[in-house]
Amino acid sequence: MAQAANADFKTRLQSLLPKLVLSPSLALVLVFVYGFIFFSVYLSFTDSRLLPSYGWVGWENYSKLWRLSHWKTSLTNMGIFAALYISVCTVLGLGLAIFLDQKVRAEGMIRTIYLYPMALSFIVTGTAWKWFLDPGIGLENVLQTWGWATFEFDWIKNRDFAIYTVVLAAVWQTSGFVMAMFLAGLRGIENEILKAAQMDGASNWNLYRRIIIPQLRPAFLSAFVILSHLAIKTFDLVIALTGGGPGRATELPATFMYSYTFSRNQMGIGAASATIMLMTIAAIMIPYLYAELREKK
């Protein structure tokens, strides 16, 4: 009897073990991700300033937020940045992948060179580009000493153009990764269809336009999702490259949230802006993850 009970306990333990093993991670995620999201969203409806406080104020933080010119600037910048960053990375990534796919010599080396920026910290990237684009010592100065006396390139110090330097540095960092995604897609396309079309006398241009690029749809989708979530999360690069300046010319929602929460003691407004960032990313990521996980079954 005792033996049977013991064996019974052992099998029950065995059947419980998988869930026991999973539970610490699950608990961490539930508390530190979903619990925290709930807490932050709650704070966005309170009168929190320097510290969390629990006086309910309804939508007040949100209506204040949308009246702030600082927030509107961040959103406008985000629009410019995201549109350019995503489209330039995609076009460049696709173009380079197609060129690299033409049985090129030293392909491995070229790929390695295109992709290494992805291994760097945005702080390193920001530092390198900050001084390279600096009119005093960087590109402008160099070209002037080389004899092009009228050359001017002060974008990083210019309110109207600084945001484009953020695009430049971000594209430099991630376009190689997008290239790798498209290259993987290109390598998966059946050659038989291409050969058949070639027999029918299709030009290379038409092969790409009509057959190859349409088949890269999954790669386009992945690139879009990854790039848009990276765009919304962009923070370190701006901090290192421009510090959000000149003025507020390169402020993004992520830097806005940080300064309102931690240096301006407007935690309620900071939490409201973080909530909007989360909602935007969720609108892109959740359908994508849902489709990815469903197909796998």
Partner 1 sequence: MSVATQDTAIRTGRVTRTLIYLILILFALFYMLPLYVMAVNSVKPLDEITGGGMMNLPKVFTLEPWAKAWSYAQIGVDPTGLQPYFWNSIKMVVPAVAISTVLGALNGYVLTKWRFRGDTILFGLMLFACFIPFQIVLIPMARMLGLMGMAGSTGGLVLVHVVYGIGFTTLYFRNYYAVFPTELIRAAQIDGAGFFQIFWRILLPSSGPIAVVSIIWQFTNIWNDFLFGASFAGADSQPMTVALNNLVQSSTGVKEYNVHFAGAILAALPTLLVYVVAGRYFVRGLMAGSVKG
Rounded Cα distance between 267 and 47, Å, is 8
Residue with Cβ nearer partner 1 (100 or 167): 100
Tokens 């050659």 correspond to 191
Mark residues 103-122: x for contact with partner 1 by CB under 8 A, - for none: xx-----xxxxxxxxxxxxx
Residue 46, Ramachandran bin (φ over 0: left; ψ between -120 and 50: alpha; else beta): beta
Size of the site for partner 1 (CB under 8 A): 117
Residue 294 Cβ vs partner 1, minimum distance, rounded to whole Å: 8
Rounded Cα distance between 169 and 192, Å, is 40
The residues pairing with 56 across neighbouring beta strands, listed in sequence order, are: 46
Phi, psi of 46 (to 5 degrees): -120, 175
58-66, 67-75, 76-84, 269-277 -> range binding partner 1 (CB under 8 A): 269-277
Report if residue 127 touches partner 1, rule: CB under 8 A.
Answer: yes
Give the residue, chosen from 160, 187, 201, 263, that forms a contact with partner 1 under the rule CB under 8 A.
Answer: 187
**Interface positions, 30-69, toward partner 1 (CB under 8 A):** 30, 32-37, 39-41, 43, 52
Give the residue, chosen from 166, 180, 249, 269, that forms a contact with partner 1 under the rule CB under 8 A.
Answer: 180
Residue with Cβ nearer partner 1 (33 or 83): 33
Rounded Cα distance between 218 and 86, Å, is 16
Determine the 3-state secondary structure of 56 from DSSP: strand
Residue 236 Cβ vs partner 1, minimum distance, rounded to whole Å: 4
Rounded Cα distance between 254 and 270, Å, is 10
Residue 186 Cβ vs partner 1, minimum distance, rounded to whole Å: 7
Report if residue 269 touches partner 1, rule: CB under 8 A.
Answer: no
